[in-house]
Structure 1
């Protein structure tokens, strides 16, 4: 699974390199030299082909077909891959606002360029507006693409479009048409909301409403404390999940807005309904794995909102619900059960649950209702995505810690955050494990610090081992928050023989920005 989310950061590069190989959304290139016309034309064709398959894809320059560093890239002129330069090259041959986003990365002495190519929002295909032609070393004409030709990425190749693909191609365009039509309805709904608000009434909540209109209705209902109406709507949305997995975004949205409005009662009902949807998933159905993944994504989005609102007291009860498995293997957390189902079904590559955070970020970007007040959408500033990514990683860390400390069952949690920089959890680690125990007591009220320290060691050893064994390129154990080491020193292991210290920020030989292992 390749999530095309517009990111070109270091973490995204590592995720793509571990994806298992080229596919419709990913192309590996050993090198490019734009002083050669053929290389420029080949890049333009690849870029346009990728944009013609919604939502787009990535090109990684500097690697072989297996994603390994290429020796051929050593003499590459990396300055030629500036995003503006790449965009200009593409737009010379198309009459559409296609854009390339690029970023250079230096890893273990090797340079990579990560290029993101996003499709047009309307999903319409882009034909070439000019002939792409050059001459080879023997003076022969080479035609790479022709005016009016439409090519589309298919697996690891560029192919002309086929009749059988048009239904898929027009799907996104049809969605845009529906969105445009709904804007007029949104205006009407806004007027209704304003009128009802003046009369002390709230607008209706109906499943199938446009997401923007639903947000306005939810805000009005929460502001006027219409708990009965909100409760009925929760049951209505949950009932749709068996036929429409997208209904889960509605549940997550209600729960997230409940947290924003400090309405614990509605949050708990939304969380209960989410758990009931999970428990009702029929493993014999073909869509069971995708539904399990949808539930896990919703849990992470609610978790991000819990962290943002600093509702430490609600995290452990939320994550430490056992899986209602009829077998002898019962997961301590239902979230882990959902992740394992997705991995076993092949929805993730060998990096496993590390993809969980990326999928959750992508879904929140496409459904801002699940992340109120976070400023997420496909055109939002990159800083909003960075902040939300920090929230997701922080929740993942706290979720794992709560399961390690207080979970009951045969399956622990998996730290997906170890595939990202440890700095992303620094803020929440300082709040929970710093000198003031208030937040820690809210998070784990029934467990003393000695037990928390013991489980934190286990969690960090797992995260460190996974980051090394899965070659995540991020070393875990540097402790950028500077509080974990002190917390563990204050609560040493009850053993005659102490294991090696897992935190090494006092070691001058260890640089947290050095990704070599």
Structure 2
């Protein structure tokens, strides 16, 4: 599954390569913008992709198998793919202010153009004039690629004329925005009340409701934490099992999980990990009731994405007990196979989502990208990071969101390796990214005995060393399965030294 998060950097390209064409990904071996036919076909593809609320990617220089196919130097004039020029070309055929981001990368002696397109309005985009080019030979009729007023949408790997069945899906984001705006006035009044209070009588009367918008929900949770109103906070916790039940539709389920993640983030930020742990326990109860339907597999994936968001915050705040609590939650595979227990609900969710084809990426990096996108879109889930620290279109090598996600991922695998007693080892999704993003947590484990004990209580150093060795062995092996991913080569020197000193010889 492709996450259209707007990034176009090299790391995002590596994430996209190897995938087949799908709703949010269009692959093109080549595009000649000096050729009228090629130019109009490209415009049609770009506008069609932009008609999806989330937008999507067009990769030029990639064949149908998802492999680079244009040797460096093939594109004679790279300036033709300048983002402003490409954007102007697309917008010359539509009224919508289609957003376009373009980057050209060189990888394995090939050049690839990465284009992200999206309509910020969230509406399908009609053409405002015909797209025609001359026929192949003199005297041939003009060829019409698209006509004024036509709307096409991306459906799998195809561009299809819009149908009645598309409208509900395409307008969902737009209508949700309208609905949110309709309640903003009342909610803003509540926020003013919350932020203007000085702790006087009346604070106890403000309930924490899942129906609040995220800003109000976070502000209310913060206020209740400030005044120590555990009664109201636990009243919300009692609603978690109901709001995340298997009978809840997916959109409502996602909203409920977002509130859960925000609650966990706020309780961690206000140094109440006990409440975070209670919230985790409530969600585990809901998780254990999931069956084997496609919707239930989607629910599992939604849960684990938000586990990673909360886990990354726990890493940044040094709440290592919470990292362990999130990682080490044994659960049955599903509600019908209660005897098959996974050591971690994270691994169970990964397995079921993969079987259902919900994470169709052989490198396994979908999960971390999806979690980072949640952090971009939901500021209340990351109270310690500003918007500028988590830019939507670029993840630098020092990106605190992606790096802490990778650290949590590696920590979860180490926890399961050291403390797991049931089935299913951890799966290092961070192996799809540069090893430098994840390694700080391993370095902390070997350097800081107190942190090591908090993360891995009652685990002696030889067992810690073995867990580190096995986790890195798997991550290195996994990173090598991708032709275009970033390789993990070895344990960091300090980790290697710790393992060398303490790991028991293999029998």
Scaled by the length of structure 1, what TM-score is found?
A: 0.88
Paired with 1:92 and 1:270, the residues of 2 have a C-alpha distance of 51
Residue number among 306, 318, 328 corresponding to 1:310 in the alignment: 318
SS at structure 2 position matched to 1:287: helix
Paired with 2:212 and 2:323, the residues of 1 have a C-alpha distance of 30
SS at structure 2 position matched to 1:105: strand
The alignment status of 1:258 with 2:261, answered yes or no, reads no
CA RMSD of aligned residues (A): 2.4
1:326-382 per-residue CA deviation (whole Å, 9 max, x = no partner) reads 554321112211211111222121527432212222233333332223235997574
Residue number among 397, 407, 417 corresponding to 1:394 in the alignment: 407
Aligned to 1:412: 425
Paired with 1:107 and 1:484, the residues of 2 have a C-alpha distance of 31
Alignment of 1:82-481 (within 5 A): 82-120=82-120, 122-139=121-138, 140=140, 141-194=142-195, 196-197=197-198, 199-202=200-203, 203-242=206-245, 243=248, 244-246=252-254, 247-281=256-290, 283-324=291-332, 326-349=337-360, 351=362, 353-376=364-387, 382=394, 386-434=399-447, 436-471=448-483, 473-479=485-491
Alignment of 1:15-34 (within 5 A): 15-19=15-19, 21-34=20-33
Post-superposition offset of 1:231: 0.8
1:147-170 per-residue CA deviation (whole Å, 9 max, x = no partner) reads 333222222222222233222222
Q: Retained in 1: the 8 A contact 2:342–2:424?
A: yes
SS at structure 1 position matched to 2:21: coil
Post-superposition offset of 1:239: 1.5
1:260-292 per-residue CA deviation (whole Å, 9 max, x = no partner) reads 0001221111111111111122x1555221111
Post-superposition offset of 1:60: 0.8
Q: Which moved more, 1:445-454 or 1:456-465?
A: 445-454
Paired with 1:416 and 1:286, the residues of 2 have a C-alpha distance of 22
Structure 2: stretches of 5+ with no match in the other structure: none
Equivalent pairs, count: 491
SS at structure 2 position matched to 1:483: helix
Paired with 1:238 and 1:164, the residues of 2 have a C-alpha distance of 33
| Structure 2 CA distance for partners of 1:274 and 1:327, relative to 1, 3 Å | closer
Post-superposition offset of 1:30: 0.7
| Structure 2 CA distance for partners of 1:381 and 1:52, relative to 1, 3 Å | closer
Q: Which moved more, 1:253-262 or 1:419-428?
A: 419-428
| Structure 2 CA distance for partners of 1:195 and 1:364, relative to 1, 3 Å | closer
Q: Retained in 2: the 8 A contact 1:238–1:251?
A: no
Post-superposition offset of 1:452: 1.6
The alignment status of 1:81 with 2:90, answered yes or no, reads no
Paired with 2:352 and 2:23, the residues of 1 have a C-alpha distance of 24
SS at structure 2 position matched to 1:245: helix
Paired with 1:164 and 1:313, the residues of 2 have a C-alpha distance of 47
1:287-331 per-residue CA deviation (whole Å, 9 max, x = no partner) reads 221111122122111111110111123322331221145554321
Alignment of 1:4-23 (within 5 A): 4-19=4-19, 21-23=20-22
SS at structure 2 position matched to 1:295: helix
1:186-212 per-residue CA deviation (whole Å, 9 max, x = no partner) reads 221123324554524333212211112
Scaled by the length of structure 2, what TM-score is found?
A: 0.90
Aligned to 2:48: 49
Aligned to 1:506: none
Post-superposition offset of 1:76: 1.9
Paired with 1:119 and 1:276, the residues of 2 have a C-alpha distance of 39
Paired with 1:383 and 1:12, the residues of 2 have a C-alpha distance of 9
| Structure 2 CA distance for partners of 1:268 and 1:327, relative to 1, 3 Å | closer
SS at structure 1 position matched to 2:341: coil
Q: Retained in 1: the 8 A contact 2:376–2:391?
A: no
Q: Retained in 2: the 8 A contact 1:364–1:376?
A: no
SS at structure 1 position matched to 2:57: strand
Q: Retained in 1: the 8 A contact 2:363–2:481?
A: no
| Structure 2 CA distance for partners of 1:59 and 1:476, relative to 1, 3 Å | same
1:379-431 per-residue CA deviation (whole Å, 9 max, x = no partner) reads 75745993211111110000001111111112111001101111211333332
Q: Retained in 1: the 8 A contact 2:57–2:117?
A: yes
1:443-491 per-residue CA deviation (whole Å, 9 max, x = no partner) reads 2231222222222111111111111124452211245x54333333443
Paired with 1:277 and 1:368, the residues of 2 have a C-alpha distance of 25
Post-superposition offset of 1:118: 2.1
